Each structure stands twice: as structure tokens, then as C-alpha cells.
Amino acid sequence: MGLEAVFGDTILTTQIDKVVNWGRKNALWPMPFGLACCAIEMMSTVAPRYDLARFGAEVFRFSPRQSDLMIVAGTVTYKMAAVTKKIYDQMPEPKWVIAMGACASSGGIFDTYATVQGVEEIIPVDVYLPGCPPRPEALIHAVMEIQKKIDTESVIDE
Amino acid sequence: MADVSTIGKKLKQKFPQAVTKVKTFRGELTISIDKDYIGRVARFLHSDKATDFDYLSDLCGVDKSRLDSSDTFEVVYHLYSLKQNHRVRLKVEIPASNPSIDTVTNVWKTADWHEREAYDMYGIIFEGHPNLERILTPEGFEGYPLRKDYPLKGRQPNSLREVYRKGEE
Amino acid sequence: MTAATTQQVMTINMGPQHPSTHGVLRLILEMDGETVVTATPQIGFLHRGVEKLAEHKTYHQFITLTDRLDYLAPMSNNLGYVLAVEKLLNIEAPKRSQYIRIILCELTRISSHLLWLATHALDIGAMTVFFYCFRERETLNDIFEMAAGARMNLSYVRIGGVARDLPDGFIEKVREFVNDFPARIRDYETLLTKNKIWLMRTKDVGVISAEDAINYGLSGPSIRGSGVKWDIRKSEPYSSYDEMDFIVPVGQTGDVYDRYNVRMEEMRQSNEIVRQAMDTIPKGEYITDIPDVAMPQKENLKKSMEALIHHFKIVTEGICPPVGEVYACVEAPKGELGYYVVSDGTKNPYRIKIRPPSFVNLEGLQKMIEGRLLADVVAVIGSLDIVLGEIDR
């Protein structure tokens, strides 16, 4: 942010950390990278019963340039790999990634010629979420894990 | 459902050389057709009032090399008639060394993508197809994945080298 | 303005990451101003190699993969495949399991149509419908969870029957839903059917004639919207559908609005089928008792040594159907879902070809869009109700 260059790791920057992290973690703007089955459970998570808005992360933006949390929901294939990378690159820093479901985490049951064995081969992943597909509660838990992770970050690291 | 057994006889009368085998298994009629006749047979079955196969349900390739070690491919057509409510399966054997066959897109437009898929998966060339390109596999994919000699895990990540994370962590 | 009057044709890329392409469909649009000159769909972004994988699985293992084709209607996919294998084995599931299959298939049809309505309306700009539809979908997911243990990918059908009997309280829960649901559909209809914006966006948009629809191989609500009265549940009844009393709704002009109406009516009909099936469900076995092919009943595993042995053999070795080939099709929510299974007598299928309805329906897109406006593209895609999982396989 520029301040850290002047003040270093002092009380001023740590207090700024708190404010900035508080803002970031409670207003995540997810980029729903819905590829397959998991995308439907992702939609259920935003829908009335599970209501992701309670966690401040309901503003799904299909434009990567407006988002800071990428939820890779579904099987990443080789044909889609380049697109995945491009979309990730278009997101502004700081950004986080949830690999939702078995396919995004590890390739899942699709151990074939066409499937990338886990999205971490292409982009860095912060939270792996198992399940085929994971329940909406699990996705909420993943978002909470991201929030916890944000809390530990510092503006100095950037 | 109408009686389908007459279709084989009828086809045999019309094209004596075309029909190589007629078989019924589990109530499904399968007619094997000679490769050179598929265009004419398709047109006849489509236009004839008694058969009236106005609907192409499915078209796919089969690699027969491990089934009877014959080194042939098979193109399988599943036809359906909305008016007569009957089905028939046509099978055409083509050699794996020169897998080419006439297109049926001029009879059923729906064959377009089916044929592209068969081309993509087996490398079967459909002569006269308007736009015979790969449909499912990524650009630059080599080989034909559904052929029996293609390995299940035959990944081709080389074409995507630049999107991979290099030396991170 | 038409293409003839201007020279400038602009190419626009739509997708594969786009909110209104229902997954990872990519369209390459050649535009003349706001008018679409050609629309070329590019698919394969979700091609996972299911058909290749099938050749390396046993017949029972493949059931799990069918769920992930059309993940909005997993039961229909399970059923289509299992019917093909049952045809190959020449066996029939017990009456009770057929009824259970009908109940769950029709509930998934409602569930699938609800998701279609939610996203289709969202694409055209009606957001409220999305929340309403997901409310009902959650109830349905609870019902599926009771029966199969999973919310979405059920894998509930087994060769020769279903995985387990309906649990206690299931029928009551479904009855509650079935009684409520007609009022819910009325809710959606008050929001949309006579809504002026909705009419302007859907009437006379994406028209396809009956002849073209047949020639392009459309099926399901997409062809019935054009006035072709063809439903596989009626024309080639499977799984005791001939004992159900329902009508097949058809449209007239074949535009987006007609397809909308057809699907809305289908939800009502499905609701009635579920009611009938629940009223007349017979008692009896839920899976057939043929030790070599069908899984033994779960309860017997704890009591019977033979059941345990058969279960072990089926799970570890699989089943070996006779040499032959069959094609079985069902009326999935999207249309004709066919499975062509070739057996060489071993435990792995030699070849499985899936005939996905969405794949073929999408082919008609080009015909429907040409000459229309860019804003109509999302309306037409929505009205085809495509699922990329089964298009790309």
C-alpha cells in the first residue's frame, strides 16, 4: 500500500493490517468459475436456504476483474486449462482460490486423457474442498477458511 | 411398435448388393450395409413411405480391433421413425487403414456433429461433410482417443506447457 | 439493417466463461451491428473422456459416471444406462422398483426444469424466479437425500432394481411436496407467463419449424415446442410408464415462449405422475433376485452367507453380460437420452456410446439464432436447456 515502505513492521502497519483484512474478509467478491456439477451446488449456496450473503460473499461477479476469490467448481479439462489460467491472471491482487470438489482438487474420478489432475497444476490453490459435489455447507466452510487465511495476512507481505 | 422385420427384406430387394447381414438381437433389428451404399440406403430409408426414417437418433464409431481382431472400424447409425414409431440400426464396416465413408449430412442435418465427433474420436473421414473438424478435443490434439490402441491416460500436456506453473513453491 | 446493406461483420467471442452459456459453451458470433449473421458453437471444454473411461470400468461402476453427465437429472441418466444393461442381460426389474424409479425420475425432471426456469429467467433479467425455484429445489434435494443419501448425484439405480427401499417417511414427505407444488407453479406463472417484458423477450424468438426440428434431431421439450408430439414415455414406454396417465404438452410456433410453456406444463404432469405412482406403488422386492447380476439386498448381507459371497463377487469381479449390442433410450428432461452398449462378454463394456439430448439440441441453435439480435442469443440458449456435462462427456 506504500505505507509499509516508510513505516516497516510497526504498530501503525499492524493496525492497518487489521482494518484492511477486516474489510477484505467480510466483503469477498467470488468469481464463480462454474464448470460442472459443483457449479449447481455453488448456486445453491447463494440461494435462499444457505445464503452466502451472511458471510459477505454473495456478490458473484462473472467478470474476473471485479473479483478476488476464484471458486473453481468442476472438472478442469485440458481444453479449459488455458482459459482457467487466463481468468486467474485477469483477477487483481490480492486473490484467493478455492478448488471446489474432487475434480478441481485432484481430477477426481476422471483419470483420463482429457482431464487435468487438479487445478493446482495451473494456478495456486488456497483451500481444497473435497466432495462430489460438496454440500453447500462445505462451500461455506471453505469460504470461512479463506476468511481465516486473510486474517493472518499482512500488507507487508505483498 | 410396427413390425420391423420387413425392413431388412425390403432393403434387400431394393439394393441386393448392399445388405450383407440382417440380425435381430433383443428385439432390435441390425442391418449391415456395404460401405459404398450407405448414402443411397440412407436416402431410401429416409424417403420411403413405409420405412420413413425421418430421425437420426445417433451415429457413432466403434473400433472392432479387440472384438474380432479384424482391424476394422464400424460406423453405427441408429434410425428412428417418428410417424411409424420403429427403430433400426445400420452398421457399416470400414477398414482401419483407410477409414472413410460417405456422409449422411445431406439426409439428416443432425449427422453433422455426430460425424465430427466420430472423426474426432476415431479419425473416420466422412466424405462430403461440410466442416469436418475436431469437435471435443483441444486444438493440437494428436491421435484419436477412443481407438483401442490409445491409452486411457494418454495425456498430451505438451501443447499447454505455457499455462503450467513452472518452478513455483 | 441486414447483412446485405452493410459490409462490416464483426466477430464476437462469447464464453466459455460466461454467465449465460450455462457452463462452458463457447459461441463465435459473426455480428452485423446487433444482428447475428452466424453463430458457431464450440464445445468440448468439459470433455472428460467418459466413454473411454467406461471401457475400463465394470458394468456396475459405470453407474456412478452416468450421474455426472447430466448432473441436473442424475436419475434419468442412471436409468437409461441400467435399462440398456438390463436389456442386454434380458432381465426386468421388479414392479416396485419400477415405480420407485418413476417417482424419482419425475422428481428429478421437476428439479431439472426448476433449475432451467431459474437460470433462464435470470438470463432474461427476472431475478426473483431464481430464488423461488431454488426454494423448491432444496425441498427436492432433501427428498433425494432421504432416498439415496446424496443431494445431487444420486447413483440410486442398480442393475435389476434400485439401491435400497424407500425409507420411512419418504412417501409422506413427497406427498407434502406434491400437494404444495401446483401452487408454486402458479407463483412462477404469475411472475412470468403474462409479464410484458417476458413476452417481448420470448415470443417469436428462436423459432424452429417442426420439419427442421426433426431434421436437426431435436428431442424433448425442444421438439415438442415446435408441435411434434413425441415423448418416449408414450411412444416406447419403459419402466411401467404405460400405467401412468399423463398428457404430452406441445407448442405451436416453436419459439422460446412455446418451449417455456411446454416445460411448465411438463412440471405439472410430472407432479401428477408422482402422485399416481405413489398411490399405486405395489409392495414387493426393490431389486431382482438374480444372484449373478443383481446386488443382493443390503439387509441380507448381515444374515446370509450366500448374499455376502454374491455381493463380493459382483463388486470385485463385476458381471459378464452375453456378447451383443443394445440401444436403450429414455425420455430425460432434455430429450432422448440413449445408451448404445456393446458387450464382448467380458466384465468391461466393449463400447458405450451415450446419445446426449443436449448435444443434438445445441446443433439446432445456429438455425434458431441466425438473423436475430444479440440479446436473443441468451434467451435461445436458455430455452434449449443445455447441460455441458452431457454435451462434452
pLDDT in tens, C34-73: 888 888 888 888 888 899 999 988 998 899 899 888 888 8
Instruction: Please report whether residue B163 resides in a domain.
Output: no
Chain B residue numbers with beta carbons less than 8 Å from the beta carbon of C91 are: none
CB of B82 closer than 8 Å to CB of B111 = no
Instruction: Tell me which residue range forms the domain holding B97.
Output: 5-138
Answer yes or no: is B150 within a domain: no
What separation in angstroms does the CA of C317 have from each of C40, C298, C307? 45, 18, 15
Residue B169 inside a domain? The answer is no
For the stretch A138-149, pLDDT in tens is 999 999 999 999
* Domain residue ranges of chain C, discontinuous segments joined by +: 50-357
pLDDT at A56 over 90: no
Q: Are B115 and B103 in contact (CB under 8 A)?
A: yes
Mean pLDDT of B74-80: 91
C-beta atoms of C350 and B67 within 8 A: yes
The beta-carbon neighbor of B136 closest among C43, C215, C324 is C43
Mean pLDDT value of segment B128-157: 84
Kindly report whether the peptide bond that precedes residue C16 is cis, defined as omega within 30 degrees of 0. Answer: yes
Whether the per-residue pLDDT at C113 is higher than 90: the answer is yes
Mean pLDDT to the nearest integer, A30-38? 86
Q: What is the CATH number of the domain that holds B120?
A: 3.30.460.80
Chain A residues within 8 A (CB-CB) of chain C? Answer: 33-37, 39-41, 43-44, 47-49, 62, 64, 74-75, 77, 79-80, 83, 87, 109-115, 132-133, 135
Q: Is the pLDDT of residue A5 over 80?
A: no
Structure confidence at residue B40 (pLDDT): 86
C346 touches chain B (CB under 8 A): no
Q: What is the pTM of this model?
A: 0.89
pLDDT at A156: 67
Binary contact (C351, B54; C-beta < 8 A): no
pLDDT, tens digit, for every residue of C336-370? Answer: 999 999 998 888 899 999 999 999 999 888 888 88
Output helix, strand, coil percentages for chain A, rounded to the nearest 5. 50, 15, 35
Q: Kind of pairing, strands B55-63 and C351-355?
A: unpaired
Per-residue confidence (pLDDT) for residue B83, from 0 to 100: 86
Task: Indicate whether B90 belongs to any domain.
Answer: yes
Closest CA to A74 of B153, C154, C64, C48: C48
Chains meeting A at 3+ CB pairs closer than 8 A? B, C
Q: Do B107 and B45 contact (CB within 8 A), yes or no? A: no
Residue C235: closest C-alpha in chain B? B85
Residue B147 lies in a domain: no
Could you tell me if residue B152 is inside a domain? no
Residues of B at the C interface, defined by Cβ within 8 angstroms: 1, 25-26, 28, 30, 54-58, 60, 62-63, 66-67, 76, 78, 82, 85, 87, 89, 108-110, 112-114, 121, 134-138, 145-146, 150, 152
Task: Return the percentage of chain B with pLDDT > 90, whole number.
Answer: 9
Interval A74-92 mean pLDDT? 88
Is the Cβ–Cβ distance between B132 and B125 less than 8 Å?
yes
| pLDDT for C1 beyond 60 | no
C50-357 has which CATH code?
Answer: 1.10.645.10
Q: Is B169 helix (H, G, I), strand (E, B) or coil?
A: coil
> Which grid cell sits at A83?
482459459
Q: Residue B168 above 60 pLDDT?
A: no
Please give the single-letter amino acid code of residue A136.
P
Q: Is C36 left (phi over 0), alpha (psi -120 to 50) or beta?
A: beta
Interior/surface letters B100-112, b for 16+ CB within 10 angstroms, e for the rest: ebbbbbebbbbbb
Give the pLDDT confidence score for residue B158 in this predicted structure: 63
Residue type, C83: L
> In whole numbers, what is the pLDDT of chain C averaged over residues?
88
- Strand ranges for B64-111 from DSSP E: 72-81, 86-95, 100-102
Rounded average pLDDT over C378-386: 88
The answer to the question of residue B14 being in a domain is yes
Q: Domain count of chain B?
A: 1
Q: Is the pLDDT of residue C4 over 60?
A: no
Q: Is C137 on the interface with A (CB under 8 A)?
A: yes
Does B151 map to a domain?
A: no
Q: At what angle do helices A37-46 and A136-151 cross, to 10 degrees?
A: 70
